[in-house]
Copies of this chain bind each other. A is one copy, B any other.
Amino acid sequence: MKPIRKQKKNESLSESVLLERIRGTIRAREPILETGIGDDCAVLQLPGRKKPLLLTTDILNEEIHFRREWTTPFLLGYKSLTVNQSDLAAMGGKPLVFVVNLSFTGDLSASYIEELYRGMDLAARRFGGALAGGDLSRSPKGLCLSIAVLGEPWGPRPILRSGARPGDVVCVAGWLGLSAMGLRFLHQEGARAESWERILRSNRRATPSTANGWRNRCLLEHLAPEPMVSLSRWLGRQCPPTAMMDVSDGLSIDLARLCEASGTGCRVEMDRLPGCPVHLVPPEEQQHALLHGGEDYALLFTLPPKKARRALAALRARSPVPVVAIGEMSAEAGRLSLVKDGKESELPVRGYDHFARPA
């Protein structure tokens, strides 16, 4: 989950360094734990059960991940669940049950809380899973929604980040950069979130035809992102990618993570990226959102070249959002390159890091 405030990256205490230090402290072992810290979900293999289970958790903190005045409790509840459903979609997984930890200060009414749960419930009915319980408590400041979700793969196995091979086709399903532009519009003008709520409830997210339509779509993508559950299901069952994850922190950083896990590099082509087709902000900012903007919850996956064409065509036939090949994996570990106007250069890796401090 990428927060609403921007911070520069600094290696002194980056999220990855901190995760590495945490990993070093853990000695407790549990035989059912197949894949732990590092992928979108933990993978659990219960004895006597063929399919593994998937467990993940995500949090939305007021002032860090959202501003209460820019959204409604219904939209916020919806988003709090969809970002978790996206973590499952990222591994080819189906949501089963959620537990919710809700902390808030004394100024929130019971009606506000009910609306939060109504939003969660709509997301559960649309994208799978059911609310199984949780905990209510006071917070020292602001509203905090921490949700854990248990799921299982649609296919026989979850799709990890680590299986991509050189030559695999790199694909994206979903828009890139819209959420970051939506956040920019909120910073500039705030929002009348009630109107997004009506759009959300009516479940019409058609491809816009006007610049204003795209602007609204950006806001909607930021305030109420939707997980790629149905495409993930098709992939998991019909044509498991060699690697998959969701684009939650930005294409460049998430692509770097996928390459790191797989021990590969990659080359992507700028003009294939599924960004907003109309210019809504200055070109260099729109390009930044496309390459580095987070919270899009698009699927990033890799397919063997022989399977890619047919799989992408099948996905496109099922999808209201773009499904495109954006490049290919290469053998040179850690090398990310970007082709733009016929020239290849290094793809700069920038994305939100919670623990980086401004230099």
Contact = CB atoms under 8 A, between A and B. Distances in A.
B33 A138 contact: no
A278 interface: no
A37 B138 contact: no
Nearest to A65: B137
A30 B96 contact: yes
Contacts of A113: 18, 21-22
Interface residues of A, number: 76
A121 interface: yes
Contacts of A137: 1, 3, 59, 61, 64-65, 354
A133 B97 contact: no
Contact of A46 (B26, B49, B132): B49
A118 interface: yes
Nearest to A15: B136
Copies per complex of this chain: 2
A54 to B, nearest CB: 10
Given A103-B144, A141-B140, A150-B44, A117 B61 contact: no
A135 B2 CA distance: 11
B65 A132 contact: no
Nearest to A146: B146
A55 to B, nearest CB: 6
Given A59-B103, A140-B141, A140-B142, 18 more contacts: A15-B136, A17-B110, A21-B114, A26-B121, A28-B121, A30-B96, A30-B129, A32-B96, A36-B131, A55-B132, A57-B133, A57-B134, A59-B101, A61-B144, A103-B144, A106-B357, A136-B355, A141-B142
8 contacts: A1-B137, A25-B121, A26-B130, A29-B130, A30-B129, A57-B135, A61-B140, A138-B354
The 5 closest A-B pairs by CB, nearest first: A148-B148, A30-B130, A42-B132, A28-B124, A146-B146
